[in-house]
Structure formats: C-alpha cells, structure tokens
C-alpha cells in the first residue's frame, strides 16, 4: 500500500506573492504597510478559503477634510496585461487612518505583478 512518505507534508505553496509594480495615491492620501496574502491550500486548511488571495494594509487621509476613497488592486500577467481588478471602499475623516482588506475571489493562473491605487470617489454618503 502506497501512502505519503515519512517526510512528506502538505505544502503551503512555494510560489512567492506577485511583485508590487506601483502605488498611486490621490493628493493627501497615503498607503501604509500592506501585504499580499494567499490562504493555505485546502489540503492544509480545515476548509477551503472563499478567496484566492487578499491584500491587507493601512491607508491614511492626511487632509483636514473627509474623503470617500477606493483602494484598487490591479493584477497583471508576465506580459503586463491586466488580469483583473478588485477594490475596497471606505470613508475617512480628515486626519484618520484605517485598514483595508481587498479579497480577490477570482482565481488567476498567472499573476506576476500587481498595482495599488488609492482614489477619492465622488460618492457622498
């Protein structure tokens, strides 16, 4: 009977996260630390994750007025073609800092780089 060899364990995936290609921010908005995360594969986790990856981080509104903002993650393949975009939106008071969480629910086979853009939207709450 064949099974797993003694040293074999479930792999968390040896592929590195894609490289950051750019960060763009509207005047007065600033990206803080961020991370591109991939969940454990189903063979290692209790259950399969509902997303392929997520990007978490912090954003600050350094202006004195409030802003409705959108943080957009754009994924690119090796040739620089856009594979998809995903976003998180939030309202920040002047001088406020908050955290964002962009869940990427679509599976992408060949993502080489990604870019982050922080824009102010015209949506008023």
Length in residues, the chain: 125
Residues 6+ apart with CB under 8 A from 18: 36, 75, 76, 111, 112, 113, 114
List the pLDDT tens digit at each of the 125 positions of the chain. 344 444 444 544 446 789 999 999 999 999 999 999 987 666 665 666 788 899 999 999 999 999 999 999 999 999 999 999 999 999 999 999 999 999 999 989 889 999 999 999 975 44
Structural domains of the chain sorted by starting position, each given as residue range(s) with its CATH number in brackets? 19-120 (2.60.40)
């Amino acid at each position: 009977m064949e099974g797993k060899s003694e040293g074999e364990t479930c792999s968390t995936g040896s592929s590195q996260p894609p490289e950051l290609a750019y960060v763009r921010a509207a005047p007065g908005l600033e990206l803080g630390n961020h991370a591109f995360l991939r969940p454990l594969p189903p063979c290692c986790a209790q259950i399969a994750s509902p997303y392929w990856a997520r990007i978490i981080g912090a954003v600050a509104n350094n202006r004195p007025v409030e802003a409705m903002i959108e943080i957009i993650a754009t994924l690119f393949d090796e040739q620089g073609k856009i594979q998809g975009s995903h976003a998180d939106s939030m309202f920040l008071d002047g001088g406020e800092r908050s955290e964002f969480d962009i869940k990427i629910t679509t599976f992408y086979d060949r993502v080489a780089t990604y870019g982050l853009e922080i824009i102010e939207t015209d949506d008023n709450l």
